[in-house]
Amino acid sequence: MIDPNYILALYVVAVVMFILSLRFMSEVKSARWGGRSAALGMAIAVAATLLAYQSNDIAALVGAILVGFVVGTPIALRVPTTALPQRTAMSQAFGSLAVALIGAAEYYDYQPHVNPFTMAVLSAEMILGFLTFMGSCIAFAKLQELIPGKPFVYPGKNFVSLTILGVAGAVGAYLVYSPATTSALPIMALLALAFGFLLVMGIGGADMPTVIAILNSYTGMSAAALGFVLNNKLLIVAGSLDGSSGFVLAVIMSQAMNRSFTNVLFGGVGAKVVKGAPGQQKAEARPVKSFTVEDVATILDNAQSVVIVPGYGMAVAQAQHVVKEATDIMQEHGIDVKYGIHPVAGRMPGHMNVLLAEANVPYDQLWEMDKINPIFPETDVVIVVGANDVTNPAARTNPSSPLFGMPILNVDKAKTVIFIKRSMSPGFSGADNELFYLPNTWMVFGDAKKVLSDLVGALKSK
Amino acid sequence: MMLELAVNATVTTSTAATGGAAAPSDVVVNLLIFIMATFLGTELIRHVSRLLHTPLMALTNAISSVSMVAALIVMSETSNSTLLILATVGVALACTNIVSGFILVERIVRLFKPAKPKVKPAEAPAK
């Protein structure tokens, strides 16, 4: 039998690797080592645990690990970058279900005598695990468009959801009082699942970056809780690293929308779009000016600097490669091209950067909001591709707008704005985009991919 | 003072603790670890490049699947078939996450390239 201290020493090495891996992620240059050092840490942690493996049932062990490799490898290699939000939701579902099931196994192992602290942590851990599992499944279904992305809202929604969560908590507390009542566990699990279902059903598609980050945080928290139950410090550290990561990302996302957590989770923003979209009718009445692709090419001919503002629409239209093609041609014409990326553009944190990086856009051309905003007044042309709400100047000027107070990309300050869009429909918030009616804005109607490839053609012939 | 209390607590209660792995002194140490790791994590994540938030999520997801270790411990110690099934499913799920998470991080991070001055994009290595 191996000395447990050796195993603990190996766990310490694993923890150091995990911490280093997050440090490596602070810069793109060192980021490759981020994934690698964490993977090494994980291999050490698993190997150390296996050193003490006692069971004779090696078949189940080998089988389970094989399943992990056989299922995990193709998922990671085949998922298109546009589908990364879905894959993140799916892996959160896997992770939280694993944690919830292990929690349940621990409970069945300990009962009927579980000390109150351990039971309280177990209850919390299982509630968190099951609700995150169901929440992630719904997030996956919404992102994959298996179900509508609109928030599912009904009167008293928050009251019902919170009551269900409260009852789940009460059942968990009852288990602390009476751990031998094994029948309470499935009831608690079902209630947690129901809460997770209602919680994410009530959240709209454009709030997904925040939701995914919060679910990420919950997965980590439940892993840390499991560490408390098992008195395993490796799990506590790794779980809290994940927990705080999800939390920080969620804070960044909600700050970028000038909204609180509670508002994202319980506000049901975007629900207005369902009820007859007031912005849409207004839009028809006000005049906008539109450009043909040739007009755009002419404007670009006289431009020195261009900023491209991509949004989720670019991902939907799979237009990132043709955006890059258009960029290359503009650069050949001597135009300076940058990309302005809003933190909540897309369906998960950082999604736009990955799409553009995949299209071979060098990462030093990707500018974040705070750095690009001062440049807009000196920019000749801004091209908005598939973004909407994040460019709406009403967020600065109109206190009655649902977007008011949200930090936006100040594209309206540029000399000319070219807005590629399929129709005049409002963005996710339901608010009409004031940008469309400004004297320096020109609309180009059509599918982003088609418009841009026509533009590439027009620029080539110049 | 705090430590003394914790030590005393161990002496008096560790023998009485039943059905849970953690004696109260461990709880204090564990809470300390949890709090420090959370602060450390928050600081580390704040400094992560915004360009890398997507691979960061894949990475932390994979790291939190260290719960595979917990499932392995349950598998190793139990003879009860229900527990074995729960833990085996746990190992399979967590292992899937670990494998796909780390491959994905590598794949995404490789997409990010610096600008090559005056090199035509056509010459960039095709992926």
Residue type, B118: K
- Name the H helices within A267-350: 278-285, 293-301, 312-316, 320-332
Q: In the β-sheet with A416-421, what is the strand arrangement from edge to edge?
A: A366-368, A336-341, A305-310, A381-385, A416-421, A441-445
Q: How confident is the model at residue B21 (pLDDT cuts 50, 70, 90)?
A: low
CA end-to-end distance (rounded Å), chain A? 77
Average pLDDT over residues A122-144: 92
Cβ pair A258, A423 in contact under 8 A: no
- A321 and A400 together in one domain: yes
Q: Is A389 a catalytic residue?
A: yes
Mutate to test the interface with A, among B46, B51, B74 (most CBs of A within 10 A): B51
- A325 and A231 together in one domain: no
Q: Is the pLDDT score of A219 beyond 70?
A: yes
Q: Is the pLDDT score of B127 beyond 80?
A: no
- A34 and A94 together in one domain: no
Q: How confident is the model at residue B41 (pLDDT cuts 50, 70, 90)?
A: very high
- A68 and A130 together in one domain: no
Give the pLDDT confidence of A365-417 residue by residue, as tens digits: 888 888 899 988 988 999 998 888 888 888 888 888 777 888 888 988 888 88
Q: Say what the pLDDT of residue B22 is.
A: 54
- A69 and A143 together in one domain: no
Asked if the Cβ–Cβ distance from B90 to A101 is below 8 Å, we say yes
Which value, to the nearest 10 degrees, does the dihedral of the CA atoms of residues A55, A56, A60, A61 take? 60
Number of residues in chain A: 462
Q: What percent of chain A has pLDDT over 70?
A: 94
Rounded to whole angstroms, how far apart are CA atoms A15 and A38?
9
Number of domains in chain A: 3
Q: Say what the pLDDT of residue A41 is.
A: 95
Q: Say what the pLDDT of residue B12 is.
A: 38
Question: Quick one: tokens of A7?
Answer: 């195993």
| CA B29 to centroid of chain Cα atoms | 18
Domain, as residue range, for A137: 83-272
Asked if the Cβ–Cβ distance from A105 to B52 is below 8 Å, we say no
Domain final residue, candidates A35, A54, A78: A78
- A438 and A332 together in one domain: yes
Mutate to test the interface with A, among B32, B64, B79, B120 (most CBs of A within 10 A): B64
Residue whose C-alpha is closest to residue A77's, from B60, B107, B112, B98: B107
Residue type, A6: Y
Question: Quick one: tokens of A214?
Answer: 């919060």
Domain final residue, candidates A24, A49, A78: A78
Complex ipTM, two decimals?
0.85
**Neighbouring-strand partners of residue A229:** none
- pTM score, whole prediction: 0.84
- A240 and A345 together in one domain: no
> Within 10 Å of residue B110's Cβ, how many Cβ atoms?
15
Cβ pair A303, A459 in contact under 8 A: no
- A107 and A219 together in one domain: yes
Residue type, A291: F
- A209 and A194 together in one domain: yes
CATH code, domain with A440: 3.40.50.1220
Residue whose C-alpha is closest to residue A199's, from A215, A223, A186: A215
Q: If you measure CA to CA, which chain A residue comes closest to B64?
A: A239
Q: What is the DSSP string of A339-378?
A: EEE-TTSSSSTTHHHHHHHHTT--GGGEEEHHHHGGGGGG
The CA-CA-CA angle for residues B34, A266, A428, to 5°, reads 115
- Phi, then psi, of A57 in degrees rounded to 5: -80, 70
Q: How confident is the model at residue B117 (pLDDT cuts 50, 70, 90)?
A: low
Give the pLDDT confidence of A26-63 residue by residue, as tens digits: 988 899 999 999 999 999 999 999 988 877 678 888 99
Domain final residue, candidates A44, A78, A112: A78
- A165 and A196 together in one domain: yes
- A70 and A204 together in one domain: no
> Within 10 Å of residue A260's Cβ, how many Cβ atoms?
12
- Phi, then psi, of B51 in degrees rounded to 5: -60, -25
Alpha-carbon distance B2 to nearest alpha carbon in chain A (angstroms): 19
- A69 and A88 together in one domain: no
A30 contact B CB<8A: no
